[in-house]
Amino acid sequence: SQTIHQWPATLVQPVGSPLSLECTVEGTSNPNLYWYRQAAGRGLQLLFYSVGIGQISSEVPQNLSASRPQDRQFILSSKKLLLSDSGFYLCAWSVRLNTGELFFGEGSRLTVL
């Protein structure tokens, strides 16, 4: 069966520090991969998606970046965190989106101080 894991689960970082969140999927090949962010009391915002290794599409401009070095690995990074980067970050995967299901990881809660 397919599983998705992301880490770390929680982290507290100072403003200006770097960030790296990692997500891996097991049990499937060539998944579509996504990073979402949910600020406190807000809906989920799609940040990045990827349809293959090295292929990244950004939905919103920001100081975050994403990379997909392997088929089932998706990384969210920042060189210098802002206060506004605080939130609940979720990785997700799908096979076919319009007719299928989107599977989410456990989430990573980031607090920038």
Binding site for another protein (CB under 8 A): 32, 34, 36, 42-44, 46, 49, 51, 57, 59, 88, 90, 92, 94, 97-99, 101-107, 109
- In angstroms, give the least distance from the CB of 2 to another protein: 13
* Complex with another protein: residue 14 or 96, whichever CB lies closer: 96
- The contacts of residue 22 (CB under 8 Å, 6+ apart) are 6, 7, 73, 74, 75, 76
* Complex with another protein: residue 90 or 112, whichever CB lies closer: 90
* Complex with another protein: residue 17 or 109, whichever CB lies closer: 109
* Residue entry with tokens 């980067």: 85
Rounded Cα–Cα distance for residues 76 and 23 (Å): 8
Are 72 and 28 in contact, with CB atoms under 8 Å apart? yes
Rounded Cα–Cα distance for residues 26 and 10 (Å): 22
- In angstroms, give the least distance from the CB of 103 to another protein: 7
**Cα first-last separation, the chain:** 39
* Complex with another protein: residue 14 or 43, whichever CB lies closer: 43
- In angstroms, give the least distance from the CB of 63 to another protein: 20
